[in-house]
Amino acid sequence: MEDCIFCKIAAGEIPCRKVYENEKVLAFEDIHPMAPIHVIIIPKRHIATLMDVDAEGMADLQSMMSAAQEVARVEKVDQKGFRMVINCNKEGGQVVFHLHMHLLGGLRLKNGLA
Ligand code: AMP
Ligand code: ZN
């Protein structure tokens, strides 16, 4: 996908602070962290939003969830706890239209939104 910032990161055309990578998935530090630990987990192939996940995309989501477990271990929040977020479309707060999960941790997160 041209002009997709996360595709460019996946292709190595834009640098990132990589946390974890495998064949299907890449995880890197968010450039504007909203918590002491804020990692973005993406599928390497372009999927625009959660609503664009088809049967094949479900395998990517599964890989992203497995990667999240690994990231939690790497960041040493697997026991302490963390939060996963997927923003979908405009009212969901999605800004980058390449499917991604946020892994947030390193502080006691409050319940509730925004
Ligand atoms: P969302 O609002 O769910 O679309 O979140 C997009 C996230 O991507 C935001 O938290 C941004 O800070 C983050 N982001 C945007 N560009 C980059 C980049 N080049 N490297 C790392 N994180 C980025
Ligand atoms: Zn993309």
Q: Extract the runs of DSSP E, i.e. beta strands, from the chain.
A: 18-21, 25-29, 37-43, 82-85, 101-105
Which residues have any ligand 1 atom within 6 Å of their CB?
A: 5, 14, 16, 28, 30-32, 40, 87, 93-96
Residue nearest to atom 13 of ligand 1 (CA): 30
Residue-level pLDDT at 114: 57
Determine contact, residues 43/76, Cβ cutoff 8 Å: no
pLDDT tens-digit map of 1-50: 779 999 999 999 999 999 999 999 999 999 999 999 999 999 999 999 99
Contact residues for 41 (Cβ-Cβ < 8 A; gap 6+): 20, 25, 26, 27, 64, 67, 68, 71, 100, 101, 102, 103
What are the structural domains of the chain? 5-81 (3.30.428.10)
Asked about 100 being catalytic, the answer comes back as yes
Looking from the CA of residue 100, the nearest atom of ligand 1 is: 3
